[in-house]
């Protein structure tokens, strides 16, 4: 074992009632809002691990250029390596075309079967757009959803039908976003403490977001 890295927790696939967290995202870059949300979901819902899934091609439009997956993936590995319960999946990286969550969850279902409970973890903003998600109704039958509260996004706006399938997770307000981090780098503002130090160094070393 590498002395600097904690040993990753191995999942015993033969064991019933596995509870798996899946956190999808663009992670451009990954920040403490993502990490805290995942860790909070892991402990609150007793998950055996949380798998971070960086997307190749986001399905929701963004106005600026998305950073090459090579960098987003590397940053996701760097940010999660200190937590033995965190893993990274390259499932979407190797799947051409738009990264639809339903395709990813179906692949996890194939690997883990139906005895595993899958919890897809999102922020409130992402879940509020559920109406626009590809094959939404089918997706809702394939896994459970956890939505973390996020400043500026009110989950009470959701239709009651969605509130029923959703587990709302109250987290201390973290008004941190990748958008703001990209803006800060571009404008020479500090990003210390809102991303892990390894990520801050990686961003400057590779001259991202300038
Ligand atoms: P961007 O500003 O580029 O959209 P982001 O900070 O929203 O970036 P994403 O990669 O789009 O990050 O988000 C991945 C997932 O993490 C989404 O479900 C999003 O809602 C959630 N998330 C991101 N930041 C937070 C936060 N501060 N609190 C709670 N959830 C968050
Ligand atoms: Mg976002």
| Residue 143 token pair | 């896994």
Q: DSSP assignment, residue 98? A: S
Place of tokens 């997706």: 139
pLDDT higher than 90, residue 77: yes
CA–CA separation, 112 vs 1, rounded Å? Answer: 26
Residue 48 in contact with residue 124, Cβ under 8 Å?
no
Place of tokens 């033995």: 84
Q: What percent of the chain has pLDDT over 90?
A: 82
Nearest CA to ligand 1 atom 7: 177
Q: Is 207 exposed, middle or buried (0-12, 13-18, 19+ CB in 10 A)?
A: exposed
Ligand 1, pocket residues at CB < 6 Å: 25-28, 33-34, 37, 122-123, 125-126, 148, 150, 174, 176-179
pLDDT higher than 50, residue 1: no
CA–CA separation, 35 vs 145, rounded Å? Answer: 17
Report domain extents, the chain.
19-205
pLDDT score at 162: 85
Cis peptide before 29 (omega within 30 of 0): yes
pLDDT higher than 80, residue 118: yes
Q: What percent of the chain has pLDDT over 70?
A: 93
Separation of CA 82 and ligand 2 centre (Å): 23
Nearest CA to ligand 1 atom 19: 123
Nearest CA to ligand 1 atom 15: 25
CA 106-110-115 angle, 5° bins: 100
**Ligand 1, pocket-test mutation among 27, 30, 34, 64, most atoms within 8 A of CB:** 34
Considering the segment(s) 19-205 as one domain, its CATH architecture is 3-Layer(aba) Sandwich (3.40)
Mean pLDDT in residue range 156-165:
85
- Global pTM value: 0.94
pLDDT higher than 70, residue 98: yes
- Looking at all shown ligands, the one closest to residue 181's CA atom is 1
Q: In sequence order, which ranges of the chain are alpha helices (DSSP H)?
A: 32-44, 69-80, 101-112, 124-128, 136-142, 160-165, 178-186, 197-205
Nearest CA to ligand 1 atom 2: 179
């Amino acid at each position: 074992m590498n002395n600097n890295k904690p040993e990753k927790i191995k999942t015993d696939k033969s064991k019933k009632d596995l509870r798996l967290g899946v956190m999808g995202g663009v992670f451009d870059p990954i920040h403490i809002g993502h990490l805290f949300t995942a860790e909070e979901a892991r402990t609150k819902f007793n998950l055996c691990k949380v798998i971070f899934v960086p997307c190749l091609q986001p399905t929701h439009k963004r106005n600026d250029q998305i950073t090459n997956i090579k960098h987003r993936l590397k940053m996701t590995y760097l940010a999660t390596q200190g937590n033995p319960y965190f893993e990274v999946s390259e499932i979407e990286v190797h799947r051409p075309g738009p990264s639809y969550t339903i395709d990813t969850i179906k692949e996890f279902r194939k690997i883990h079967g139906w005895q595993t409970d899958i919890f897809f973890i999102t922020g409130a903003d992402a879940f509020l757009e559920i109406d626009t998600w590809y094959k939404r109704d089918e997706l809702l039958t394939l896994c459970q959803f956890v939505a973390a509260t996020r400043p500026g996004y009110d989950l009470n706006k959701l239709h009651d039908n969605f509130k029923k399938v959703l587990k709302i997770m109250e987290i201390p307000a973290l008004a941190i976003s990748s958008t703001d981090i990209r803006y800060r780098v571009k404008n020479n503002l500090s990003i210390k403490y809102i991303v892990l130090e390894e990520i801050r160094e990686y961003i400057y070393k590779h001259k991202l977001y300038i």
